[in-house]
Amino acid sequence: MDPRQVLPHREPFLLVDQVLEVVPAKSARGFWKLTGDEWFFKGHFPGRPTLPGVLMIEAIAQLGGVAVLSAERYKGKLALFGGVDKARFRRQVLPGDVLDLEVEMTRLSASAGKGSGRASVEGVLACEADLLFVIVDN
């Protein structure tokens, strides 16, 4: 599934290339293929391009948005970041890597929710975090 079918994000800030699986309001799996041409690699870091950790968190959050906004009760809504807990970065992500993403919703109400997500490269954990979000009218 193309994440643009659900998310309002667009280039250059759409950080999920493809959604592989969605269980609405429960979970999602997808990926982001880093080509090396992304805007942030030029300055982070010159001579040693590395994906910024905050963008890994954003990619997980965007996939979480797909999981939530795919549910019928949230159609036409917008999921906004409310917070990040327990974020850990385990390895560098480099140009050419495919960042495999997965997210699970752990609590969901009419106006807010909580989930946890992971990002990995070739089965090696790169990032994990718990995410808080609010759901608003779009």
Q: How many residues does the chain have?
A: 138
Distance in Å from the first CA to the final CA of the chain: 21
Which of 44, 71, 104, 114 is flagged as catalytic? 44
Q: Are 120 and 133 in contact (CB under 8 A)?
A: no
* Closest residue by Cα to residue 54 from 84, 22, 29: 84
The label of the residue with tokens 């109400």 reads 109
Query: Is position 9 annotated as part of the catalytic site?
Result: no
Residues designated as active site: 44
